[in-house]
Chain A
Amino acid sequence: MAIIIELDVMLAKRKMKLQKLSELVGITIQNLSILKNGKAKAIKLETLNSICVALDCQPGDILRYQKI
């Protein structure tokens, strides 16, 4: 897929563990791993909003479009 998830980059920038984000956002660590590894087919706006709040970032910091 042409959409790249850069959740691990943001986590590193914020020096935050996936476990901590999972607790802040309120979704399971398994689902966050699916998202982080780029295996997710879709992301709810509600989830994106929660992640942006937890990481204090913009959606563009997490999602990136790359031409194939």
Chain B
Amino acid sequence: MKKFENRLVRTSKNTLIISKILLIVLLFIAITPWFFPTSTFGEGIMGILGVSHYADNNFDYVTRNFTILNRSLGIIGSIIGMLPLFIGVLVMMKLSKNYITGEVFNLQNIKSYHHLGVIYLLSAVLLQPLSQILFSLCATINNPIGHRFIRITFDLSNLTAIFFAIMLIIISQVMYLGQKISEEQELTI
């Protein structure tokens, strides 16, 4: 038992370090490309975010003509899209800190898992499609009239996210039940 506890503490310490790095990287990825859209870095990140898929002509031409409106739409879109990941990393940090101090099956951790599941479910159903709408608008708003469009996408990645979010909610409910049983066990004399 002690061996597994030590392993959990060690993993949590590593996760805490990775989460801190990830938080900085995510903030960097969400904001910086929109200030340097013509650079290779900016275009690369926009490619990862999926903005370049919406440009029907040369993406270089699109980024060269980026206005404040394009950048604003892009920043809002990337923040909305990455919001669940930000929250996920913050929750992971909180959980890791609790695990390091030995608080494993407390109600606070279970609530964190449940909230995370709900946030990911909302993200898959609402935030990700909304983020893609903003990205499509960002990439095409400078096009001539008739060539501007917004695109709502709902694909396999959204379905996968919904599946994992529901699984997270179920796991949190099972953990809640486990916590209740453990509490009952502790109060059985």
State the CA gap A42–B184 with chains docked (Å): 8
C-beta contact mask, B146-189 vs A, less than 8 Å → 1, else 0? 00000000000000000000000000000000000001100111
State the CA gap A40–B188 with chains docked (Å): 6
Chain A residue numbers with a CB within 8 Å of B188 are 40-44
User: Interface SS of chain B: helix, strand, loop or mixed?
Assistant: mixed
Chain B residue numbers with a CB within 8 Å of A43 are 188-189
State the CA gap A40–B183 with chains docked (Å): 10
Closest chain B residue to A31, Cβ basis:
B189
Across the interface, A47 reaches (CB within 8 A) one of B183, B184, B189, namely B189
Closest chain A residue to B180, Cβ basis:
A41
Distance in angstroms from A41 CB to nearest chain B CB is 4
State the CA gap A47–B187 with chains docked (Å): 13
A53 within 8 Å of B (CB atoms): no
A27 within 8 Å of B (CB atoms): yes
Chain A residue numbers with a CB within 8 Å of B189 are 27, 31-32, 34-35, 40, 42-44, 47
Chain B residue numbers with a CB within 8 Å of A14 are none
Closest chain A residue to B188, Cβ basis:
A42
Chain A residue numbers with a CB within 8 Å of B187 are 34, 39-42
Can you list 9 pairs linking A and B with CB atoms under 8 Å apart? A34-B187, A34-B189, A35-B189, A41-B183, A41-B184, A42-B189, A43-B188, A44-B188, A44-B189
- Residues of chain B whose beta carbon lies under 8 Å from any beta carbon of chain A: 183-184, 187-189
A-B CB proximity, top 9 nearest: A41-B187, A42-B188, A35-B189, A40-B189, A41-B184, A31-B189, A43-B189, A40-B187, A47-B189
